[in-house]
Amino acid sequence: MLSDGEQQSANYLTTGTWSQGAIKEAKKYCAANEVANNTSNGYSTIAEPADWNVDANAKFFHYCDNETIQGFEFAEFPHDKVPAGQTLVCDMSSNFLTKPVDWSKYGVVYAGAQKNVGPAGLTFVIARNDLIPGHRADTPLLCDWETFSKAANTFHNTPACWPIYMCGLNLAYMVEQGGIPHLQAKAVERSTLLYNYIDGSDGYFVNNVEARYRSRINVPFRICSNEGLEKKFIAEAAAADLIDLSGHRSVGGCRASLYNAMPVEGVHALIAFMTTFKENNARPAAE
């Protein structure tokens, strides 16, 4: 951990809105070194790992495994780019429990429960034991991991009981369904169906993310590069009980989120609607 007054460096990889926000916040506390940044290409890809600007002396390396807004996900993070002995920290908020994790590679993983596990109001923090002590003196009490690790068989304060209870029920259900292997297979099935349809639409629907970085969880897409057509699509989809298909307000367009709770039947329904919409709405003439 960083000691009081130190401006030690930390590596931050920017792949979308959430990792961009993370490095902005980090600059309040340390010398944040940006390993790579994909804003110039619209977050559609990232520089080859061999070209990353990694600070070998940094305290830790932070990245976001899946960017919900841009639909950018690491199928396999290049762990060899993290210097030996450097702590790897990962934001897994939106793809947590959708694929296996090699926990030996990570020092800290954090994730909001609300995407794949349970209701909003609960955050998972998985920290290696040796990283729990050694906090800065100005660390707020409730941000100090020792506050909770030392509260054996009790709690420092009353936790969010209902979200914890609901997550417990859902986790038990996930285990009954087959656990991570089952959830991973479903994530691949859902996203593959949708990407194959988009790619086969002759450019009517378009996803601009490089294939190897396409998210299995969040699929943003544009319709003929036409905002009017996209607004019509979103409105008619909502009328057909296909809701929340608008892209994030910061980027526009459309987006289908395929979290663990989404059944494959929902993807089939979306594809059927997209097919009908394409048939009924001709591609606008080029200006």
* Residue (of 148, 98, 113, 97) closest to 127 by Cα position: 148
Known active-site residue 18 = yes
Catalytic site residue from 55, 65, 81, 91: 91
Between CA 126 and CA 122 the distance in angstroms is 13
Contacts of residue 87, Cβ cutoff 8 Å, sequence gap at least 6 = 59, 60, 61, 107, 108, 128, 131
Catalytic site residue from 18, 81, 99, 145: 18
Known active-site residue 52 = no
Contact 233, 256 (CB under 8 A): no
Catalytic site residue from 55, 81, 99, 115: 115
Known active-site residue 199 = no
Give me the active site residues, please. Answer: 18, 91, 115
